[in-house]
Structure formats: C-alpha cells, structure tokens
C-alpha cells in the first residue's frame, strides 16, 4: 500500500474514488439484480441436489451398515452354533461312541521304550 494513503487519508492514484459514496455507486452500477437472482437460484439448486445426494448416500450407507451389522450378528450366531457343535462332537461320550464304531479297542498293555541316552556312536 502506498505510504501516502495513511498520511493523506486519500487515494491519490484514483482520486475519483475519494469522494464519499462513489464506491457504492460504482458497485451498484455493476450489480445486476437478475443475474444475482439467477446465480442464487442456481446455487440453491446445486446445493439442494448435493444435499439430496448426500442424504441419499448417507441413508444408503446406513442401510448398508445395518445390513453388514445384521450379517455380523448372524455370522456370530452361526459361529457360536458351530463352536457348540464342535464341542459336542468332541465330547467324551461322542468320542467313545465313535471309537467303538471304528472298531478301536482300549490299550491293555503298554510297551515302555527305555531312553538310550544322549551319546551314541556308530560301530
């Protein structure tokens, strides 16, 4: 900014602007009511559409999230049921009944293998 502005409190580069009200008048001269209205309406439409899209998007995402949450819940339930089934299948009564079905027999006599020790050598 020119240093003289402060000193003189006037714009010496554009002296025609120094007169009070001239600035507003010139601005008013440029202002076009019709265009402004059109711009405002256009903006309203744009923002309106954007808002609708966003709301729609959020709602859709909400449904998607809810759907996924339901899916998680269903999967958790399914997982719990599978775990219970797994545990049931591993129960001793089930294992024993399966073992007899596979013609398995109880071990009556064990063969105990004695440890040779850590040091061995080839002959």
Residues in contact with other proteins by CB under 8 A are 77, 80, 84, 87-88, 90-93, 107-110, 112
The residue among 100, 98, 101 whose CA lies nearest residue 90 is 98
Give, as one character, the DSSP assignment of residue 2. -
Residue 92: both structure tokens together: 């001793």
C-beta neighbour count of 80 within 10 angstroms: 10
For other proteins, the closer CB: 42 or 83: 83
Shortest reach from residue 88's CB to other proteins, in Å: 5
Distance CA 30, CA 53 (A): 35
Give the nearer residue to other proteins in terms of CB position, either 22 or 88: 88
CB of 93 to other proteins, least distance (A): 7
CB of 40 to other proteins, least distance (A): 33
Residues 6+ apart with CB under 8 A from 26: 17
Query: Would you say 14 or 90 has its CB closer to other proteins?
Result: 90
């Amino acid at each position: 900014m020119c240093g003289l502005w402060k000193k003189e409190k006037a714009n010496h580069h554009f002296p025609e602007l120094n007169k009070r009200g001239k600035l507003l008048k010139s601005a008013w001269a440029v202002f076009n009511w019709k265009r402004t209205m059109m711009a405002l309406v256009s903006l309203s439409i744009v923002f309106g559409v954007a808002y609708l899209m966003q709301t729609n998007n959020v709602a859709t995402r909400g449904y998607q999230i809810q759907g996924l949450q339901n899916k998680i819940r269903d999967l958790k339930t399914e997982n719990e049921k599978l775990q219970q089934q797994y545990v049931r299948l591993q129960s001793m009564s089930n294992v024993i009944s399966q073992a007899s079905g596979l013609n398995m027999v109880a071990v009556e006599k064990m063969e105990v293998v004695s440890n040779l020790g850590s040091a061995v050598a080839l002959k």
